[in-house]
Structure 1
Amino acid sequence: MHPISPETAPDLDLRHHGDAEVRGLGAQLTDLAVNVRAGTPPQWLRERIADSLGTLAAYPDGRAARRAVAVRHGLPEERVLLTAGAAEAFVLLARALRVRRAVVVHPQFTEPESALRDAGHAVERVVLDAAGGFRLDPRAVPADADLVVVGNPTNPTSVLHPARDLARLARPGRTLVVDEAFMDAVPGERESLACRTDLPGLVVLRSLTKTWGLAGLRIGYVLAAPDTVAALERAQPLWPVSTPALAAAEACSTALAVAEAERAAQETAADRTHLLARLAEFAEVAAVGPAAAPFVLIRLPNAAAVRLRLRALGFAVRRGDTFPGLGPEYVRLAVRDRETTDRFIEALKQALS
């Protein structure tokens, strides 16, 4: 686990994402590259979104959705900011905050670093070691960093860092950004900091994209101190979140929706256990674990060639070499149902032989 300065950080395609693996070929490939839950959005959510279309002549009014998100997390409304996906939140943070020393903990989702660099900030990387299971040691983060970004559970490693370790990173004068885009896919949302109001500088980001299948709608939110929320809101354009996206945010924050997400998380955990058990049949495949998210990171020889063979066999998987801290031997797999996993395992046997 070691810091890398902006001058020595290797150049990577930080804007490569899983959708590039299936773009234009979605119908021909079984998608294990994108981490959106299969079979979503559910019918009831489609209907709620469709019902909102009759009000499109009016400008969006986010008050009800903001209130619903606040209630869902037991927070006052002034601690909630709705955004056009969690990705917008990274851009707002990069533009609105005065940052002297920004540190991004890798491997993780690459948009935070991209947004910071686009806004003119130098970014240092703290790269977690594979030998340590990509686990965070808070002592590795420079003490004088005034912006720290970390994912939990982390994309692409599927590592769930203990909340106590993340809390140790919070301190006066520092903004601690915890990307919890996949936290609602963790049973019980254990290790979440979303409801914490006692940690100075804490900013928690959430997305409704993954569990509810709303990547095309763009809806997420920020949970932070009121002054931080106000600063980010000033950096937003007018009416940044559409009426259908607001309807989705309100609908997905109800007690019934949260309960449905919990059931989905439990099912995903069982499906992930099955995937890991099948992967263990291959001596040459090593899975990063324990995995906690709806995806698994694996290491295997000749991964780039295997990925292309899998594609020819009808399966899209996510390359790992565009994530800082990983290399060409890594591949990320979305967790799917057992039947899909079993078909994938048969394809993997062919790709490895």
Structure 2
Amino acid sequence: MVDAFDLEHHGDLEVGEGLVDLAVNVRAGTPPPWLVDAITASLTELAAYPRPGAAVDAVARRHGVSPDRVLLTAGAAEAFVLIARAFRPRHPVVVHPQFTEPEAALRSAGHLVDRVILRPEDGFVLDPSAVPRDADLVVIGNPTNPTSVLHPADSLRELARPDRILVVDEAFMDAVPGEPESLACASIPGLVVVRSLTKTWGLAGLRVGYVLAAPSLIEQLSAVQPQWPVSTPALAAAIACSNERAVAEAAQAALDISRQRVHLLDKLATAPGLSTYGAASAPFVLVHVRGAAELRESLRAQGFAVRRGDTFPGLGPDWLRVAVRPEDVTDGFVKVLADLLR
């Protein structure tokens, strides 16, 4: 049943005082000082209404597109609400397991949502033929939360149709070295790419993201967006995170995350009774272990918060999502995890 999953549950609800946070996918040690300085400097302009032009231009330059292909949003979550309001699909489809906010937004707007469920035995890899041909709005994450799978861009291109809106959630793409499968700069009819500055830069509390799409689609989304949706400090962050220095720093962070993820997977392989499926490419990994609900509570008692998996359609009570963290944090976590499993 559609209501069997709590689509409104997110990782921040797992975190508590005194717990090591392995539940939220925001990069540790962020935001960096130079970004805090840029945001702080914008506070002298709070008396004026936000002017998005410079931030739109900066994001457009960062992706090599024209400014009329960019729409700034109050985080990726607002983008999904705008998509649900702007478009009136007859047969919307969400590919799961994935971030639940897109489906929640579609349902809240009155849409009847169909699901395509990817299977662990297939490594959670997309088979484009599994998506109904008559689907006129399709949502998929890349890399996908919570499976950490990076779908080939060519597979996503197969989903494009002249009469279909294809929404690709790339909130974690900047954590993939080189972003090889990104469609951010692609010119594909009906394509809507959603990006976020939250994960790499530690800006969950500021709410800033953006949409990349054809000008006509940007106009439709903008028409249902409230006035001044992105605050002046968030606009300053968008500018600061789009320059060459920031892009280079993000690229290095992606390499660091990849190294830390390899370390996490190697350590998890030593824990008894625990399995992973598919090739992880994001700053988190999805694990399968019997009794995950009880294990999660035991980990909390030992000081570690991980993300439950049973709120994601396609998963059940034996799944957990674990954020990638520096090696010393991983070592401490896996030692406790292995002791509990034994």
Query: 1, 5, 18: which one pairs with 2:11?
Result: 18
Contact map agreement 2:98 2:312 (CA 8 A) in 1: yes
Paired with 1:287 and 1:40, the residues of 2 have a C-alpha distance of 28
Deviations 1:61-113 (A, max 9, x none): 00000000000000000000000000000000001111110000000000000
Q: The residue matched to 2:9 in structure 1 has which SS?
A: coil
| 1:289, distance to aligned residue in structure 2 (A) | 2.8
Residue type of the partner of 2:308?
R
| 1:208, distance to aligned residue in structure 2 (A) | 0.2
Residue type of the partner of 1:348?
L
Q: The residue matched to 1:131 in structure 2 has which SS?
A: helix
1:44-193 → structure 2 map (5 Å cutoff): 44-193=34-183
Q: The residue matched to 1:78 in structure 2 has which SS?
A: helix
1:233 and 2:222 correspond: yes
- In structure 2, list runs of 5 or more residues that go unmatched: none
In the alignment, which residue of structure 1 is the partner of 2:246? 257
Count of matched residue pairs: 342
| 1:170, distance to aligned residue in structure 2 (A) | 0.6
| 1:10, distance to aligned residue in structure 2 (A) | 5.1
In the alignment, which residue of structure 1 is the partner of 2:198? 209
Q: The residue matched to 2:4 in structure 1 has which SS?
A: coil
Q: The residue matched to 1:139 in structure 2 has which SS?
A: helix
Paired with 1:335 and 1:103, the residues of 2 have a C-alpha distance of 30
Residue type of the partner of 1:351?
L
Cα 1:346–1:283 change in 2 (3 A) is: closer
Paired with 2:243 and 2:178, the residues of 1 have a C-alpha distance of 16
Paired with 1:306 and 1:351, the residues of 2 have a C-alpha distance of 8
Deviations 1:156-198 (A, max 9, x none): 000000000000001101000000000000000110000001x
Query: 251, 257, 265: which one pairs with 1:268?
Result: 257
Paired with 2:32 and 2:132, the residues of 1 have a C-alpha distance of 44
Task: Name the % identity.
Answer: 65
1:323 and 2:312 correspond: yes
Q: The residue matched to 2:2 in structure 1 has which SS?
A: coil
Paired with 1:115 and 1:315, the residues of 2 have a C-alpha distance of 31
1:23-34 → structure 2 map (5 Å cutoff): 25-26=16-17, 28-34=18-24
User: TM-score normalised to the size of structure 1?
Assistant: 0.96
1:9 and 2:2 correspond: yes
In the alignment, which residue of structure 1 is the partner of 2:28? 38
User: TM-score normalised to the size of structure 2?
Assistant: 0.99
Runs of 4 or more above 3 Å deviation: none
1:305 and 2:294 correspond: yes
- In structure 1, list runs of 5 or more residues that go unmatched: 1-7
Question: How big is the alpha-carbon RMSD for the aligned residues of Structure 1 and Structure 2?
Answer: 0.7
Deviations 1:308-338 (A, max 9, x none): 0000000000000000000110000000000
Q: The residue matched to 2:125 in structure 1 has which SS?
A: coil
Paired with 2:48 and 2:238, the residues of 1 have a C-alpha distance of 18
